[in-house]
Structure 1
Amino acid sequence: MDAPVRTEAQTKAYSYVRFSTPSQAAGASLQRQSEKAAKYALEHGLTLDTELNMTDLGVSAFRGKNARTGALGEFLEAVQKGYVQRGSYLLIENMDRLSRADIITAQALFSQLIVSGITVVTLTNLEAYSLARLEREPEALLLVVLELIRANKESVRKAQLIGDAKARKKKRLAEHGLEGKPYTRQTPAWIMWSEEEHRYTLIEERAAIVREMFERMDAGDGLVRIARDLNVRSVPTWGRSGKQRTADHWRTSYIRKVLTSTAPIGTFTPHITTHDEVTRARRDEPMAPVENLFPAAVDADTYWRVNRKLSTTAARGRNARQLPKSIVSGIVFCATCGHAVTRVAKGDYVYLVCSRANMRARGCAYKAVRYETVEKALRENGKHLVKEAPRGKSASALDKQIERTQHEADGMEVLTFELLELIAEERGSPEATAASRRLREVERRLKSLQRELRDLRTQRDTMTIASVRDRLKAVERALTSNTDVAETNAVLRDAIRRIVLDPEQGHLWIRWHHSEDVQDVRCFTRHMDWTEFRETTPPMHALFPENSNALDKTQ
């Protein structure tokens, strides 16, 4: 940061203006705070600085964002580097403009300014706090502490009320439907609320693009090809509500976001905002989805076929357009580390090898298995594999499980609000400390239940008796007939989530899309230990990586 050029010896004052919502910019908040600062500077012979940006518009002080990344943070840096001289004034409307964080954080921020030689002035009551005054009148610090505590309690209570309102709104939606009023106006870009029809409707020209994305992905096109084609055709990107910037071109990340969202089949997933206790980083945690809130842009069968395809590993880069040369391409994984297995050609032979081991990464030994051994094991056992394949639970049984899980999740949400209220009312007491510990446990359980609900609903939608039967029949036909490699791979990817190659135990472990039960096929390899008989155990960390911390994503 460059030091401001000083042309006057007069003491400088810096007016810090902040409000937490962008909508306040349209009101009198900015003008009111600025006028108060100008008046104070004039009456006290101060030069009001105009070089440093001292305005945080729409920035909250509840989590300390204004002091970390906002204009206040830049001011603190300027003070630290000496660009703002000791003895300068910081003019704020009230203490809550400085911080609404917890009292420890807020008081530390205030003390940092005072110790750095900055005089903090609250313009509403014209109180000036300097190091000299607080040394002379230490009781004046009590006024500051009380104001900071009040500001924090107001924000805690506001957050609680907003959470309660969202919970009541969601409950009312579940019991009575929309009742002619929008549940939210923050809709996907292809959906809008119709004031005339009192319901959500599709923006047809955009919904047609959504359908095209799904149909092309279903037909085998990749994200890059779809995005590139939309850009070549100069298809306009979609603007969002408010003043959010419209993208200048289609990106694969956005197309993936559309394809993995549940909104195209009419399901709305509300989120609750949480913050990391250490970094204060914002996290939007999904809540239980609301089905059939929006009109569907694509049919359910197409949606879930694409969903299953995206849940497996697709070819990337220069291989994206090439037909697969393996019937297990994209769905075979290593039993040891859980990473993808790659196809390696050595002369006249082709092997399957763990991708980590192939790159000589630590944690997985290089154990190549002949590809023809794996394909032969699947094809020779095709009929038995399908005959013994799990059929999953009945839809009615899953519905009951979803209902039980949803009931527990609702109870956890209510308990969360009650604990927040107790913490706000008894702040600083042993009861509040105990409630905070209990709140962390409840929030962890609630997140777990929400993930379980999403998985259960996905499983229910992909396991109808007819669809499971059709996919299993297709697998049997593909494995037992002369179906080519690419078609067989497409059929297997549509039905199977993961095949785990286990050279040491001599097994292929199968996890289907429609069931959590694990099936195995014998696959004899040269890596098996024939000297002793041991009971085989499925490598659950590789079959269910979403439930395991075994995969180190940094590697």
Structure 2
Amino acid sequence: MKKAVYCYARVSSRGQAKDGYGMSRQQEMLRDYVAAYDDSQHNRGYELGNISWLYAEGVSAYSGKNIEDGSVLKTFIDDVLQKKITNSVLVIENLDRFSRAAPNRAAGLFLSLINAGCDIHEVETEMIHHQYSDLNIISGGLQRAHNESKRKARLSIKNWDERIKNTIDGTSVLTHRVPSWIEVKNNKYVLKKGESEKYNLIFKMYADGFGPAAIRDELKKRGMQINEREPTINHLMKIIKDQRLIGRFNSTGRKILDGMSIYPVVVEPELFEAVNDLRKQRNPLGKINVKANNLFAGLCICMNCGRYVQVNSVDKKGDTYFRCGGSLVKIDKCKERGFKYKIVENALLEHLRNFDFSMLRSDDNDIQVKINYLSMELVSNEKYSNEILADLEKEDIPDPNDRRILKNIQRRISEIRNEITILKQSNIGYETFNDLKDSYTDDLLDPKNTKLRLDFNVKVKRVIKNIKMKRYDNTIMLVVSYVGVNEKQAMVINSKTGEVVFMAVQNDDLKSIEYLINND
């Protein structure tokens, strides 16, 4: 009688799975065993037939993942118990391949398989485990496999602890696998020459409202490459999220190491957090149009649907038009009509030139109180962080709990710095308003003055949060919201002449203004 053979080969690390050595070695060993099997030496009453392979690549047996529901081995065991697979045997290199988890967990599955009539052939010892086998041998083998994994885990942790200590002491590096902007010299992480300028340019441009395409083009113009090649838009977006630029280690293995500060800081944490806060916004400030055909790019929002209003159509006379982005799509289409861009631009510029910003009530005092409170919390956390670092340096093998606390404190320090940056940006003061007013010149009206208009767009975003727009029959309503200010500025302009017919500070709903428009 021949029995179907199921050979189970497992490697626990991704590296072993990738290079194929561990897996191919097992395959060769199991294949040779099946080919050479002689039942006269075991008296099991069967021969071994064709092989079916069960592969588990990059799956840990110590954690028990290889015998969890859905794993290839657990699925095989379930199929045997449910009699979907019959007249079969399982062939493994040794008991370590089956499981390194706690014996009481692994033994139950092992025994259920052999009690269902599926013999387990252990190639390394040339033992065949079946329902009449000595249970002491089986449990002893599973216990040995578990103990060996525990020993290796302890050695690995001790090794990592020693490497962490040396990294903190500055006598060695944690790993030689480093980001492209860093190199290892004399057992220390060193920033490569010229790398800081590249990455700070990326972050500063993004903070000023430039999109990844404009940043890519500027890098190309300056001859700056990232990792010896021209960056793509996707690459730039990954760079913006890469916490290694603020010195943090990225660990996919030991969670306790993830986020530890070990690298040289390339981008200041305040700038990094501010940029990523912009990136995460559901409705970001928008990207500066490198053609500069819209002085208020990224600020204009449709009052009807909440999507961005853009300059995206030109008539036969060459006049550009504002259109809601939602009016250009087929699904959930916005019904707002377009209107001439130049009329709105002229009205807003005239408003910014002549408006007395002191009429607006700012929350400067409240903001400063919050900044002061956060600053005190920052000092306290930084002091605590330094104390823990000092304690870690004194220990031969640092306490994992101390490292966990240190990581949490460093995360909170980063959060506080980000909050302070955001508050400072909102606490702009009237000097910023005046700087915007002073930057106005008649040359701004010429779309060909690209650089001048781009610079103005950056400045206006420091003052104006957004401009909501709505078209009526003969009028256009604009509601301007300012950074760090409660009130909103409501303007109503004639849609044909651009004349401002109504203006007021509006801090509640806009029903009264809409009533005036509809009954004009």
Name the residue aligned to 2:232.
251
Where does 1:274-313 land on structure 2 (aligned, <5 Å)?
287=259, 293-294=263-264, 296=266, 312-313=285-286
Cα distance in 2, alignment partners of residues 115 and 365 from structure 1: 71
Cα 1:271–1:219 change in 2 (3 A) is closer
Where does 1:145-294 land on structure 2 (aligned, <5 Å)?
173=168, 178-195=169-186, 198-204=187-193, 223-224=212-213, 238=227, 250-259=231-240, 261=242, 267-271=246-250, 287=259, 293-294=263-264
Query: What CA deviation, in whole Å up to 9, does each residue of 1:287-310 have, x standing for no partner?
Result: 4767xx4164x7999989988997
Query: 1:522 aligned to 2:489?
Result: yes
CA positional deviation for 1:364 = 6.8
Is 469-478 or 109-118 further displaced after alignment? 109-118
CA positional deviation for 1:329 = 0.8
Cα distance in 2, alignment partners of residues 494 and 326 from structure 1: 14
Contact kept in structure 2, 1:33 and 1:93, CA below 8 Å: no
Letter in 2 for 1:193: V
Query: Secondary structure at the residue paired with 2:11?
Result: strand
CA positional deviation for 1:405 = 6.9
Cα 1:29–1:274 change in 2 (3 A) is closer
Contact kept in structure 2, 1:53 and 1:71, CA below 8 Å: yes
Cα distance in 1, alignment partners of residues 478 and 179 from structure 2: 48
Name the residue aligned to 2:499.
none
Letter in 2 for 1:356: G
Letter in 2 for 1:20: S
Letter in 1 for 2:287: A
Contact kept in structure 2, 1:17 and 1:30, CA below 8 Å: yes
Query: What CA deviation, in whole Å up to 9, does each residue of 1:444-475 have, x standing for no partner?
Result: x9999588346336548x7599x988865542
Contact kept in structure 1, 2:96 and 2:145, CA below 8 Å: no
Contact kept in structure 2, 1:102 and 1:152, CA below 8 Å: no
Name the residue aligned to 1:314.
287
Cα distance in 2, alignment partners of residues 519 and 510 from structure 1: 8
Query: 1:477 aligned to 2:430?
Result: no
CA positional deviation for 1:181 = 2.7
Identity %: 12
Contact kept in structure 1, 2:87 and 2:118, CA below 8 Å: yes
State which of 376, 380, 383 in structure 1 corresponds to 2:351.
380
Letter in 1 for 2:481: W
Query: 1:331 aligned to 2:315?
Result: no
Name the residue aligned to 1:452.
415
Structure 2: gaps of 5 or more residues: 40-46, 387-399, 471-476, 494-501, 511-520
Cα 1:146–1:518 change in 2 (3 A) is farther
When Rg is computed on C-alpha atoms for both structures, the one with the higher figure is 2
CA positional deviation for 1:48 = 9.4
Cα 1:166–1:401 change in 2 (3 A) is farther
Name the residue aligned to 1:510.
482
Cα distance in 2, alignment partners of residues 155 and 337 from structure 1: 62
CA positional deviation for 1:508 = 2.5
CA positional deviation for 1:190 = 1.6
Contact kept in structure 2, 1:269 and 1:288, CA below 8 Å: yes
Name the residue aligned to 1:499.
465
Query: Secondary structure at the residue paired with 1:22?
Result: helix
Instruction: Tell me the TM-score normalized by structure 1.
Output: 0.54
Name the residue aligned to 1:342.
310
Contact kept in structure 2, 1:200 and 1:295, CA below 8 Å: no
State which of 13, 24, 40 in structure 2 corresponds to 1:20.
13
Query: What CA deviation, in whole Å up to 9, does each residue of 1:74-110 have, x standing for no partner?
Result: 9899999x99985142314335655759999x89987
CA positional deviation for 1:482 = 5.5
Instruction: Tell me the TM-score normalized by structure 2.
Output: 0.56
Cα 1:376–1:269 change in 2 (3 A) is farther
Contact kept in structure 1, 2:80 and 2:86, CA below 8 Å: yes
Query: Secondary structure at the residue paired with 1:350?
Result: strand
Query: Secondary structure at the residue paired with 2:180?
Result: coil
Name the residue aligned to 1:432.
none
Query: Secondary structure at the residue paired with 1:269?
Result: coil
CA positional deviation for 1:18 = 1.3
Cα 1:360–1:192 change in 2 (3 A) is same
Cα 1:210–1:366 change in 2 (3 A) is same
Query: Secondary structure at the residue paired with 1:16?
Result: strand
Contact kept in structure 1, 2:91 and 2:123, CA below 8 Å: no
Contact kept in structure 1, 2:103 and 2:139, CA below 8 Å: no
Cα 1:535–1:472 change in 2 (3 A) is closer
Cα distance in 2, alignment partners of residues 398 and 160 from structure 1: 40
CA positional deviation for 1:402 = 3.4
Contact kept in structure 2, 1:288 and 1:454, CA below 8 Å: no
CA positional deviation for 1:499 = 3.1
Query: Secondary structure at the residue paired with 1:400?
Result: helix
Cα 1:474–1:255 change in 2 (3 A) is same
Contact kept in structure 2, 1:309 and 1:494, CA below 8 Å: no
Contact kept in structure 2, 1:475 and 1:495, CA below 8 Å: yes
Contact kept in structure 1, 2:190 and 2:264, CA below 8 Å: yes
Cα 1:23–1:90 change in 2 (3 A) is closer
Query: What CA deviation, in whole Å up to 9, does each residue of 1:5-33 have, x standing for no partner?
Result: xxx96753514131326379999977986
Where does 1:111-130 land on structure 2 (aligned, <5 Å)?
119-121=119-121
Give the count of matched residue pairs: 457
Contact kept in structure 2, 1:96 and 1:148, CA below 8 Å: no
Where does 1:374-453 land on structure 2 (aligned, <5 Å)?
376-377=347-348, 379-381=350-352, 384-385=356-357, 393=368, 397-403=373-379, 452-453=415-416
Cα distance in 1, alignment partners of residues 491 and 24 from structure 2: 78
Letter in 2 for 1:499: K
Letter in 2 for 1:350: Y
Contact kept in structure 2, 1:12 and 1:48, CA below 8 Å: yes
Cα distance in 2, alignment partners of residues 469 and 398 from structure 1: 23
Cα 1:523–1:193 change in 2 (3 A) is same
Contact kept in structure 1, 2:7 and 2:54, CA below 8 Å: no
